[in-house]
Amino acid sequence: MKWLLIAVIALILLLILVMITKLKIYFHFYHGNDNDYLKIHLKAWLGLIRYKIEVPLIKVDDNSPTIVVKDKTAAGPQENPSGKDTKQFSAADLVNGLHDMKTMLNHVVNLHKIIRKFLKRVTIRNLEWHTFAGLGDAAHTGMITGALWAIKGSILGIISHYMILKTPPSITVTPHFQFSVSQTAISCMIHFRVGHAMLAGIKLIKYWKGGRPDFRTKPLSALSDDGTKTV
């Protein structure tokens, strides 16, 4: 009985530790003409738990109407590489993703309230979004520059409404009137407590209505086995 009590107490303490753990997500995306790069770095427990995802190649396939994605993952304190893979995503994958989103909306009562309450617990720091744009024509470049400022302002308004912007964002749009160029870089640090994410997940299950959902998409690890072509 003594050992059982110790085990229960240890389990409760571990659960509390997990609930209060703060998960930090470092996000960086770069787009430069035909080159794209995405990196997501997750950290917890002062860096003892780490997981990194790098997508160094995102391009349109020349032989089919699909997007080619080449990713690399690493896990552990030393960020040892755990795998590399190249996948292709078609328009059908996008349609299936939208279908699954609609399925979630239909099956979960007050889904938007659950998500909004969770997002209120999410904090964003060091948000930077820099863009270089040019169309080779001064008039057209001026129009696209104004449109980009409007788009960024709207997106920042939505972010600040639903989440916590802890530090002032650094946003720029630099026009190039002499030549065509399209470059943008986005980086930020997002953090929240694991307990808040777990609570949101529990609410999704609690307020689920109806039977088994008809999800069409599969985990990324299974994409190469479900008929999607891997190169």
pLDDT grade for 117, boundaries at 50, 70 and 90: very high
In this prediction, residue 1 carries a pLDDT of 76
Domain parsing of the chain, residue ranges? 20-220
Give pTM, 2 decimals: 0.74
DSSP state letter for 214:
-
Burial (Cβ within 10 Å: 0-12, 13-18, ≥19) of residue 4: exposed
In this prediction, residue 225 carries a pLDDT of 41
Residue 20 has, within 13 A of its CA and on its CB side, a CA count of: 5
Q: Is 170 left (phi over 0), alpha (psi -120 to 50) or beta?
A: beta
pLDDT over 60 (residue 224): no
Determine how β-strand 180-193 pairs with β-strand 164-165: unpaired
pLDDT over 60 (residue 65): no
pLDDT over 50 (residue 227): no
pLDDT over 60 (residue 24): yes
In this prediction, residue 186 carries a pLDDT of 96
Instruction: List pLDDT tens digits, range 28-44.
Output: 999 887 778 889 999 99
Task: Say whether 231 sits in a helix, a strand or coil.
Answer: coil
DSSP state letter for 208:
B
Closest Cα partner for 175 from 210, 127, 140? Answer: 140
Instruction: List pLDDT tens digits, range 120-142.
Output: 999 999 999 999 999 888 899 99
The mean-pLDDT minimum among 37-41, 105-109, 175-179, 195-199 falls in 105-109
Mean pLDDT computed over 214-227: 50
> Residues near 118 by Cβ (< 8 Å), separated by ≥ 6?
192, 196, 197, 199, 200
Using alpha carbons only, give the angle 31, 25, 90 rounded to the nearest 5 degrees: 45
Residue type, position 116, single letter = R
